[in-house]
Amino acid sequence: MSDHDSARALLHELLPGVSRSFALSLRVLPAPLQVPLGVTYLLARAADTIADTRALPPSERARHLDALRDRIGARDPRADRQPASLDDLADRAGGVEAGLDRHAAARRLLTRLSDVLAAYRALPQADRERARAVLDTLTGAMAEALARFPPEDAGRLEALETRQDLDRYTYGNAGCVGRFWTDMVVAHRPRCRGWDVGVMRARGERFGQGLQLVNVLRDLPRDLRIGRCYLPRVDLATLGLVPAGLLDPANGPRLRPLIGALVHVALGCFDDALAYTRAVPAGEGRLRLACALPLLIGLGTLARVRRADDLLDPTVTVKVPRTEVRRHLAWAPLLIASDRVLDRYVCRLRRAVEVPD
């Protein structure tokens, strides 16, 4: 079996268990992009599993994360073997709150980490360098979060300070992926080589930041209970709130103006996401759909965040149902073929987000 075929088999085995939305986008991507983007995602997901596992104290997680970062940056092929410092991690990794299925998938990913590293090392040099750069940014953001926030069971809560901190957080965790995605598309899809790369990188970064901001709003109550508040302390203070006050679901109505403001920031990012998707040229239908799907799902999630009366309640899950995703897929042929149809479809989803408070 060739390196490419081995990598595709690895993606087929591991991706569905660790990502629903990305696995869907990857399936519709043009074939030349599937392996480099998929392998890069698996390494990022492995790093995220290490950074998030409650089975280890933050100091040990940081050490394991550094070991993985060293392997990703190493140029010696002998580094493909399973890192010694990660040998015993697979049995303990995975978020306690994620459930048994997700825990098993995370453990399986770490067990196969040496294979994922080998697939990464087998990428063409240019792809590997692009992957290394984005992984360096992503894992650097994970290391920064480990240093900034308290252990999940410490009974303390730490918050970002300003909107600038939030912007930096969303770039380091997702905006950088939009830049990487753009560079990979230009490298592998000849029809896209006429793009203004600077403009498209900026749009791609905003696309990723919008998706991450949706995650911040959707996961707010669960993040608070592990000691992390991504809503800026300065903005909370203008509402007479402190981060610890968000642990009380009764403060949801007082928080609504800030939620509304951040929803509008996300919508601005999604305007760039729509422009990004529309810039995909005719004849690149699979690429266009792979861009459109996260935009549509992001808008659907944002609408549910905006309408939620109990956004601070950790028992409430904000999630786009599979039926809605299937509806997007049913519209796919028209969304691919027509800018007008895409614009109208996105406009309808956007109106659902813009319902007045």
Using the 3D structure, point to which of 148, 180, 197 is the last residue of a domain: 148
27 and 153 co-located in one domain: no
Number of separate domains in the chain: 2
The pLDDT value recorded for residue 299 is 97
13 and 3 co-located in one domain: yes
- Over range 209-223, report the average pLDDT: 97
165 and 41 co-located in one domain: no
Domain of residue 238: give its range. 149-357
Strands 228-229 and 158-159: parallel
Asked which of 8-12, 84-88, 295-299 is least confident by mean pLDDT, the reply is: 84-88
Given a cut of 70, whether residue 211 has pLDDT beyond it is yes
Given a cut of 80, whether residue 90 has pLDDT beyond it is no
238 and 104 co-located in one domain: no
The pLDDT value recorded for residue 282 is 86
12 and 108 co-located in one domain: yes
Given a cut of 60, whether residue 102 has pLDDT beyond it is no
* Non-local CB neighbours of 264 within 8 Å, separated by 6+ positions: none
DSSP-derived letter for residue 228 is E
The tens digit of pLDDT for each residue in 310-348 reads: 899 999 889 999 999 999 999 999 999 999 999 999 999
Closest CA to 46 of 120, 112, 127: 112
- Over range 241-255, report the average pLDDT: 96
85 and 155 co-located in one domain: no
The tens digit of pLDDT for each residue in 14-61 reads: 988 888 777 778 889 999 999 999 999 999 999 999 999 888 899 999
Higher pLDDT among residues 4 and 332, named by residue? 332
The count of residues in the chain is 357
In CATH, what number is assigned to the domain containing residue 219? 1.10.600.10
User: Model pTM?
Assistant: 0.91
168 and 131 co-located in one domain: no
Closest CA to 206 of 182, 233, 187, 231: 182
Using the 3D structure, point to which of 123, 148, 173 is the last residue of a domain: 148
39 and 54 co-located in one domain: yes
* Burial group, residue 315, by CB count within 10 angstroms (0-12, 13-18, 19+): exposed
C-alpha 115, offset from chain centre: 22
Given a cut of 90, whether residue 84 has pLDDT beyond it is no
Asked which of 83-87, 244-248, 277-281, 300-304 is least confident by mean pLDDT, the reply is: 83-87
169 and 105 co-located in one domain: no
Q: What single letter denotes the amino acid at residue 267?
A: L
- Over range 225-236, report the average pLDDT: 97
The tens digit of pLDDT for each residue in 110-135 reads: 999 999 999 999 999 999 999 999 99
Using the 3D structure, point to which of 107, 130, 148 is the last residue of a domain: 148
160 and 129 co-located in one domain: no
> Is 72 in contact with 139 (CB distance < 8 Å)?
yes
109 and 157 co-located in one domain: no
161 and 139 co-located in one domain: no
The pLDDT value recorded for residue 107 is 86
For 339, the enclosing helix (H) or strand (E) is helix 339-353
